[in-house]
Amino acid sequence: MNSTYENATVQIIGGIYPDNETLRDAHVAILGVSPNCTVKLSQRDNVARRYRTFDVLTECAAVETETDDGVLVRFNGVSRQMIQDIGLDETDAKVQWDVYPVGCKSC
């Protein structure tokens, strides 16, 4: 598993946004080792020409699997955005991110 994924497509399940919200051109940075890592999701802001933090998962577990379309990295953890913006308890702020790295399948 990589420590970062750039230009990835990320599907968010169970977050603030509608289920299966898809972010394109996302940057995912992994700090630590699963099952207790922290993962930061940023999205490209073309106007500002930089990445802006979208959310951070803590207490995160990660699983990488091969699919017919390439690699899928699934992260399950506690959404900082749901705790800070909505005020949910950590037990209710669990989300899943499905990260589809863009690029060469055999690289």
105 located within any domain: no
Nearest to 56 by CA among 19, 20, 82: 82
Asked if residues 62 and 38 have their Cβ atoms less than 8 Å apart, the reply is no
Per-state percent for the chain, helix, strand, coil, to nearest 5: 10, 60, 30
Task: Say how many domains are in the chain.
Answer: 1
35 located within any domain: yes
Distance CA 84, CA 3 (A): 25
107 located within any domain: no
Residue-wise pLDDT for 20-76, tens only, equals 788 888 999 999 887 889 999 999 888 888 889 999 999 999 898 988 878 899 999
Tell me the mean pLDDT in the region 6-24.
83
One-letter amino acid at 56 equals V
The whole-number pLDDT of residue 42 equals 95
69 located within any domain: yes
61 located within any domain: yes
64 located within any domain: yes
Query: Domain range holding 45?
Result: 4-100
Residue 14 pLDDT grade (very low, low, confident, very high; cuts 50, 70, 90) = confident
